[in-house]
Amino acid sequence: MRLGNLYCDPSIANGIHKITARQRWTPSQMQLQILESIFDQGNGTPSKQKIKEITSELTQHGPISETNVYNWFQNRRARSKRKQQVHFSSNAESEVETETESPKEKKAKLDNINSHENQTSRVEDLCFQSPEVSSDGQSMDQLPNKTKCGLQSNDSSKCLNGFGHISFYENVVSNSNPRVDHLMGHMEDAGSYDPFHTGDGYDM
């Protein structure tokens, strides 16, 4: 009984036609190309920061949100894998090791260095404040045990600056930080992102 997709809210049609019908994003050629390109680099699902960056970039080529980017990667990976499996359908059995094109070590959990919105802020010093500050008030830390926080603010806030050239996305993904805090669930529009999933709060 999945009535799950009632989706559009009925109440908004205040006389006119619903302006809020479910409509879905349609990637432009350029966006697709870029996305594919990033995907092909095989860095797995981009971290939240990267998604923000990617989104920012793609915004120049048409309307898009972080959710779109996130979903795209999810679907891209899933379908890529599925297609491959079908491809081997008549073949064997035990060989499941073949990664798609995004070989990623399965269990490599060193992620979560949330530096949410860092568009213009400095990530430099975030890791050291008093531990008992949760910027949002609560929220526990979600940080990885192993890599711990430390500052690995290698990310992005910087490489983002002068994009506008085709080389940007290479930076975006190549930029270290393998699997990080992805999963942003569904954010909404406008710059802010996600609501769920991110443990929010700064690490620590």
Partner DNA sequence: GCAAATTAATGATTTATTCAAG
Partner DNA sequence: CTTGAATAAATCATTAATTTGC
Can you tell me which of 123, 149, 198, 201 binds DNA, judged by CB under 7 A? 198
Give the nearest distance from C-beta 45 to DNA in angstroms: 6
Q: Which does 149 bind (CB under 5 to 8 A by kind): DNA, its own copies, none?
A: its own copies
Give the nearest distance from C-beta 4 to its own copies in angstroms: 6
Stretch that binds its own copies, among 83-91, 99-107, 135-143, 168-176 (CB under 8 A): 135-143
CA dihedral 179, 183, 188, 193 (to 10 degrees): -50
* Residue 177, φ and ψ in degrees, nearest 5: 35, 85
Q: Show Cβ contacts of residue 100 under 8 Å, excluding neighbours closer than 6 positions.
A: 77, 80, 81, 84
Q: Which does 107 bind (CB under 5 to 8 A by kind): DNA, its own copies, none?
A: DNA
Smaller CB distance to its own copies: residue 102 or 163? 163
